[in-house]
Structure formats: C-alpha cells, structure tokens
Amino acid sequence: MKNHPSSLAEWLAHLETMHPKAIDMGLDRVRQVKQAMAVEFACPVIIVGGTNGKGSTCAMLESILLRAGYRVGLYTSPHLLHFNERMRINGESASDAELIAAFDKLEAVRADVSLSYFEFTTLAAIQLFSDAKLDAVIFEVGLGGRLDAVNVLDADVAIVTSVDIDHTEYLGDTREKIGFEKAGIFRSGKTAICGDPVPPASLVEHAEKIGADLWLFNRDFNYSGDKQQWNFSGRGHRRNSLAYPSLRGANQLLNASSVLAALEVLRLRLPVGAQEVRTGLALVDLPGRFQVLPGQPTIVLDVAHNPHAAAALAQNLGNMGFHPYTYAVFGAMQDKDIDGVIAHLKGQVDHWCVTDLPLPRAATAVDIREKLLHAYADLPPAAETERSIRTFATPADAFANALSRAGENDRITVFGSFLTVAGVMEFRHSEHH
C-alpha cells in the first residue's frame, strides 16, 4: 500500500482488513517485524498477564509510578470508548497524531509481513513508547501469554494476576493448560510474580524449568489488614499502614500486593516512597471495573465476562448493603461460559435486561434469555414485579428500560462484555450532553 491512511479512523478500518484472521496465535511474524523496527527499551519492561485483574494491576502500577515522578507508558486492551485509550503516556491517552506517526513508521518497515489488528497495534505501541523516552513501560497481555503479540518483548518483571477458565478454544480447557500459556511471559533470570493464591502446578514448573525468579503469593509476599488499612510484606521489604485502593472489590488487595512485589523487585531502578504508594493507590481510576456511579438509583459498571470475574462481582454486590431490587444489563460473547456467569449472579439479580451486541460472535439476547430461563427453572415461578427477563437490541435500550423501571433505592448493574459496558457509557454520555 503506497499511500498510508491519513486519519486514525481510516487506519483502524484498514487494520481490520489487513490479515485473514482476527486472532492468529504465534510470534514469528511479529518477531520478524520487531527486528526490522530495531527498537529496544533501556527502561524496565513490566508485562501483566492473567485471566482477571490485569487491567486493575496495570492501572495501580501506572498510578504509583506517575506519583513518583516517572515517565510511564501503558498499553492495555480492549478499549471502552476510544482506541486511543489503549496507549497512554504519562497517564494521558495517545493523540491521533502520535498514533498515526507510530502506524506510519511501522508500515514503512513491515514489508510484506501480514499482521493482525492486535499484532500491528501492539508493535505500534512499542514504537510509540520507544520514541517517547520513558522511565518504565507496562504492557497488558491480550490473550494467554506464550503466543500473544506482547510476548515479543522480554519482561524485566512479569506478573500473572490470576488463572481461571476463559478463551478455552485458544488456551485449553483446564487451569493447568491455561497456567502454562500464561507462564509463557516469564523469562529466565528475570522476576516472575504470580498473584493467584492457588497457582497451577504447570505455571510453577515452567518458571522453575526456565530459571525465572518466581514470587508466589503467601510464600514470597502477602498482605494483612483491618477495616482501616492494610500492610504488605515481600521478601525483604514491608509497607505498613496503606490506604485501600480506590478500585473497589474483593480481589484488589491481591492485585495491589502483586504490584508492590514488582516495585520491590525494581526498587533500585525505580525507587518509590511510601507516600507515593499511598497516593497512587488512593487515586487509581479504572472505568468499568466495579465502578459505582454517584446518584440514584445506584449504577454499577463491571466488565465481568467469565465465571471467575462474575463470582467477584457477586461478592462485591453482596457487600453493598440493601437494595429492594437489582436490575442487570447483560450481554456477552457466545464463546464465554454464560451459564457459569449466570450461576454466580442469579441470586443477586431480580430483573434481567439482556442485550444483543454489535459483533457476529456475540451471543444473542434470545440465547441468553434461554439460559436464564433454564437457570431459574428450579425456582418457584415469580410475579413479573418480582422477577423478569426482557431482551433488547442494544445495551442502550436495555439500560434505558432498566432505568425506567428502577426505583431510586434500587440498583442497576451493567456487566458482561466490554461492549455492554461501553454501550451504556456512550448512552449516558450522550444523555448528559
């Protein structure tokens, strides 16, 4: 292609059509292009993988390092509202111009190597961060680890937050198989951190086999705390009287502990003081992760889309205090364990507003309704005022319906695919403007 696209929208549309498969596991093509790019990072590289908790872990790392005055690059996916959210420099989304410049540079050296959308944008993030002369870069794994495009980088510290069942068609159908895939981001002689309290044996074995320095929760680091504050202890370092992370929810101290373990490892290269840790945790912000919006009725946004995340969401909802009725706006991809998600949440939800999503691989609202009817089959029938399941064409329609029926003391929880949460965020945004 001689003429590169001139706008970000044109570029993204072009990337959608550039490669025959949306997900194409393997690193050979990505490695080939990365070599042609001739970029290396002089600063520490932190890679974060895992089934759930990756986004929260990345956000806390970024927040603490920014408070400590470092220049930080953060690459995450997917985005909620704008593609630019995927690449952040110093806490700000990359501008269209910065992204286009990185895309142009990459296109100039790519030659005839075919790259998927995710592979191309991952390499573009490497280019962007390399040009920006940063003190630390954080990359979130897209899917799995071993064969994910992000794994073309060698991490100084690799974190696996949790290992649970998701993406089984690519990663396998057991925690042991998935654990091996996640452990692919570990490197010999470098630090590997696992925040899962019950790590799969495959992950531990792989780390030991390649000679990574493995930090395990409860063996090498842990936390303790009361209602007011919490403490972290690592191999040689303690941090006491910490504020709870502003990200709400049951697993956030596990994620925060992995973050502080990573900072302990990097303390000579990236020293961080106690106050910066406290402030960084207190001010961290991550839309769509058990995000409770102000006002009435109570609205909760959460991108929980697998059973492990749904269990955490159910626990968090249960800890919130009394609401007469809970409305759920829910949409998901058909390859997800939707029955497993419903099993965790059916005790917390009275009225379901299930929605189609604008992707061919999404489950239809009618499919989800069938699964819900099946899940509630063992309960006695209830009046429509007590329990209901309705189907909608879009997340905005489903949310508008929930909003029209909910009383001011009720709550609406919007969860499932990123597209479900993004659809509701866009709707609220348009209503406010």
How high is the pLDDT of residue 1?
47
Residues forming beta bridges with residue 392, ordered by sequence position = 355
* 158-192 residue pLDDT tens: 999 999 877 767 677 899 999 999 999 999 999 99
The whole-number average pLDDT for the span 239-252 is 85
Among 424, 386, 209, which Cα is nearest to 302's?
A: 424
Q: How far apart are the first and last CA of the chain?
A: 40
Identify the sign of the CA torsion 399, 250, 47, 95: positive
- For the whole model, what pTM was predicted? 0.93
How high is the pLDDT of residue 250?
64
Report the chain's mean pLDDT, rounded to a whole number.
94
**Which H helix or E strand runs over 128?**
helix 117-131
* Alpha helical stretches, state H, 6-116: 8-16, 28-37, 54-67, 96-110
- Segments of 207-287 assigned E as strands: 213-216, 222-225, 230-233, 238-242
Residues forming beta bridges with residue 326, ordered by sequence position = 411
Neighbours of 81 (CB within 10 A): 13
Query: 177 near 155, Cβ under 8 Å?
Result: no
Residues forming beta bridges with residue 391, ordered by sequence position = 354
Among 17-21, 67-71, 281-285, the minimum mean pLDDT is found in 17-21
**Which H helix or E strand runs over 411?**
strand 411-416
Among 156-170, 199-213, 249-263, 312-326, the minimum mean pLDDT is found in 156-170
| Percentage of the chain modeled with pLDDT above 90 | 84
The whole-number average pLDDT for the span 142-149 is 91
pLDDT of 78 higher than 60: yes
pLDDT of 2 higher than 60: no
Structure tokens at 108: 């100039």
- Return d(Cα 128, Cα 35) in angstroms, integer: 16
| Percentage of the chain modeled with pLDDT above 70 | 99
How high is the pLDDT of residue 170?
67
* 291-326 residue pLDDT tens: 999 999 999 999 999 998 999 999 999 999 899 999
Query: 323 near 406, Cβ under 8 Å?
Result: no
How high is the pLDDT of residue 211?
98
